Structure 1
Amino acid sequence: MTPPDLPERAADTTAEQPWPVRLLSLKIADYVEKMSVLWVEGQVVQLNRRPGARTAYLTLRDPDVDMSLSVAIQVNALDAMPAPLDQGARVVLQAKPVFWTQRGSLMLDARQIRPVGVGELLARIEHLKRTLASEGLFDPERKKPLPFLPRTVGLVCGRASAAEKDVVENARRRWPTVRFAIREVAVQGPTAVTEVTAALEELDADPAVDVIVIARGGGSVEDLLPFSNESLLRAVAATRTPVVSAIGHDVDTPLLDHVADWRASTPTDAGKRVVPDAARERQSVEQARQRTRRALSTRVDSERRHLVALRSRPVMADPTAMLRARREEVDALTRRARHRTLAAVHRATDHIAHLRAQVRTLSPLSTLERGYAVVQHRDGHVVTDPAEVEVDELLRVQVARGDFAARAVGLPGGAVGGSP
């Protein structure tokens, strides 16, 4: 009951009128007391059962998050279970929430406890599988390709486990210089999900890590249950680094196999997959070199044969043959041109001689050679009419062999004659 000088409700408290701790504890206890009996599921992470005690205490943890509650349960309720309760077991229990005012802690007063059977676990896993598949977390399109040769391989595995040895030895057998960043964590039990997720996020944040392998040996459905946990699966889907799932044997298929970018049937298979085989790569390089050498040799031989064929052609066997043929053609054309030119000159010469003969025949000199003469006045005009000549006029007489002067004299009938 609230003292009259203190606020009745929590909303009415002030800095001047606060509730004391005892009153707050009583208020919380009253509120929790009103809660009904309920069923709750979780994972047993700690069990304290003292000999002769009628009450046992255990810690019930949520497998998806790091949150737990203390539980008090009667020993006879534990003895009524079909099998002894072990740490890490999944259970459902009927309990009444109780708030301890003296310690200020909340715990559960359990009335009944039941193990979660394998059938129920498988049904829940199947339901989660359908949910994640509908969200696209299993789609092949979102899976990232593995690098050909990673700089560093991140490995999440159990402490001093055979899975670590299988992955490391098989990887180094194939590629001796491969480097590992190993995170040893709990791979089963109540802290497995938290530790594996933390190691995964740490490796994913390292820029030198090119691929992450999550490896664990085989086990029962309960042992492999952390690798079907929703929070871990979503953390794997959110990584930027490719993730390889190497959980159990080939028959074991936790949901991590569907979310991871590549599934290895065993940790040994994962060690063989994350790095290439150096011997095989060396053999492939040698084969490629041999193929290249053969291809080059074949190409050189083909080009050599082609050159031989070209050199065996007449034009290559005797390169001057074409020039010689052209020279002969030029010489023939030159001779033909010279012959035709000379023929044309001869014809022109004959024609000129003929014309010269004609000119000579028709020239005044030829007439003079036949005994005729040309009479000219002193000014050079030819006398064509005797009436043009005056008496005693000195005339020039042109004959074939020269000329001479003559003087015109009067003749009977008025004609004029000439005397030297």
Structure 2
Amino acid sequence: MRTLAQRMTEYIARSPAAWIEGQIAQVNLRAGSPTSFVTLRDPSVPMSVQMACPRSLLTAMEPPPGEGSRIVVHGRFEFYPARGSLTFRVDQVHPVGIGELLARLERLRRLLAAEGLTAAERKRPVPFLPHVVGLITGRASAAESDVLANARARWPAVRFRVENPAVQGVSAVPQIMEALARLDADPEVDVIVLARGGGSMEDLLPFSDEALCRAVSRCRTPVISAIGHEPDHPIVDDVADVRCSTPTDAGKRVVPDAAAERRQVEQLQARARRALTGWVTTEEARLRRLTSAAVLVDPLTPLDRRAAEVAALRERARVTITMTLERIERDVAHRTAQLRVLGPAATLARGYAVVQSGGHVLRTVADAPAGAPLRIRVADGAVLGVSSGPERTAPERTGPERKDER
């Protein structure tokens, strides 16, 4: 049961608002209560609906409606799960004489919607800080003072260009359209506010005029509609770029709040200051870490140490090369001495000679027969000669003969 009641509540809450015409069967005006309960029945068929209506709407009508009165109400259905009852919550009440007018206005509202004049994609954003605000409202009206006072309270430097046409009666629509055209043609005007205080439905009819609604849709300048109070909903609200519930709300929407913007700027400045301070602190810590390194505290000592190492290595290389060269020189001298001792020149210096014949060194007496040219090489040069043949060896003498020779 609870699930069904919840689903019924959600389904009925999605139903659109509607106009209902009927005859009052019962009125319950509770003393001290702001809400009155009315039973509205259909005179043609035995059908009725329970309505919850603000007491002020009924007491404001002249004369106040009673049982048997025919009225037209606007509102939407609400389902109360606790009691299982369906109630029509009313926000507008009018005598039955304007029922046909309401139907005509509803047809016009649907026509403009079908043409796309009320589409959300056509809505233009209001400038953040308009250069000049155009205001169309009644002369010396409460709506004018509300818009000006609230806008200047939020942004004292705001500039207005005010047009005061008639806002009700037969001349209201053409005068409002003329004022709208003048403000739209002014290049300094960045936004136009169309404002009027509350009133009866007949008083607000000019703001549901088709010609005025189409003129608002053709404006190049964004238009803010602030007509009547929250329950009032003329058709120009649908066509305008922004709808405000009251002129007071329009004064707050048309310009930013200087105090709030100043606070936001201060907050952004504080955030930027904190971010910058944090960044500087981080970089200072990183710089301290870098500068505290030994290589940066005393950068010359490592260089001097490396220079000393290089000098020591150079000295070692010089000593090593010198010792190597000396050792090689000693080896060369030793080898030279060995060659000098073992070579033929040393042998010649000791008194020996080399005899050549025909370019060949004589190795046997057979190599130099008699008459052969000889070349005899000694230590300081060479002499030439002719071979006389092999030397004949004398016979060995006896002993006595040798004594005689001595």
- TM-score tier (shorter): 0.5 to 0.7
Give distance in 2, aligned partners of 1:172 and 1:412: 154
Q: Structure 1 unaligned runs (5+)? A: 1-81, 84-114, 416-420
Q: For 1:253, what is the secondary structure of its paired residue?
A: coil
Structure 1 stretch displaced more, 179-188 or 117-126: 117-126
Contact 1:383 1:389 in 2 (8 A): no
Is 2:267 aligned against 1:287? Answer: yes
Give distance in 2, aligned partners of 1:317 and 1:228: 84
Aligned residues: 299
Aligned-residue offset at 1:334: 2.9
Contact 1:394 1:407 in 2 (8 A): yes
Contact 2:131 2:188 in 1 (8 A): yes
Q: Structure 2 unaligned runs (5+)? A: 1-61, 64-94, 394-406
Give distance in 2, aligned partners of 1:410 and 1:130: 160
What residue identity is the alignment partner of 2:128?
A: F
Give distance in 2, aligned partners of 1:249 and 1:223: 13
Is 2:135 aligned against 1:150? Answer: no
Contact 2:356 2:374 in 1 (8 A): no
Q: Percentage identity across aligned positions?
A: 55
Contact 2:376 2:384 in 1 (8 A): yes
Aligned-residue offset at 1:125: 1.3
Is 2:173 aligned against 1:181? Answer: no
What residue identity is the alignment partner of 1:337?
A: A
2:145 aligned to which of 161, 165, 184: 165
Contact 2:370 2:388 in 1 (8 A): no
Is 2:277 aligned against 1:297? Answer: yes
Counterparts of residues 15-414 of structure 1 (less than 5 Å): 117-320=97-300, 322-324=302-304, 326-327=306-307, 330-331=310-311, 333-373=313-353, 398-399=378-379
What residue identity is the alignment partner of 1:232?
A: L
Give distance in 1, aligned partners of 2:391 and 2:275: 129
Give distance in 2, aligned partners of 1:403 and 1:285: 117
Give distance in 1, aligned partners of 2:272 and 2:389: 131
Aligned-residue offset at 1:371: 3.4
Aligned-residue offset at 1:122: 1.5
Give distance in 1, aligned partners of 2:122 and 2:387: 148
CA displacement, residues 159-200 of structure 1 (integer Å, 9 cap, x when unaligned) = 111111111111111111211111101101111111111111
- Provide the TM-score with structure 2 as the length reference: 0.64
Give distance in 2, aligned partners of 1:361 and 1:150: 120
Structure 1 stretch displaced more, 276-285 or 335-344: 335-344
Give distance in 2, aligned partners of 1:406 and 1:195: 156
Give distance in 1, aligned partners of 2:342 and 2:265: 108
* Structure 1 residues 372 and 121: CA distance shift in structure 2, 3 A: same
What residue identity is the alignment partner of 1:309?
A: R
Give distance in 2, aligned partners of 1:137 and 1:404: 138
Contact 1:214 1:246 in 2 (8 A): yes
- Provide the TM-score with structure 1 as the length reference: 0.62
Give distance in 2, aligned partners of 1:317 and 1:172: 63
Contact 1:118 1:222 in 2 (8 A): no
Give distance in 2, aligned partners of 1:403 and 1:181: 137
What residue identity is the alignment partner of 1:152?
A: V
CA displacement, residues 109-137 of structure 1 (integer Å, 9 cap, x when unaligned) = xxxxxx99222221111111111111111
Q: For 1:117, what is the secondary structure of its paired residue?
A: helix
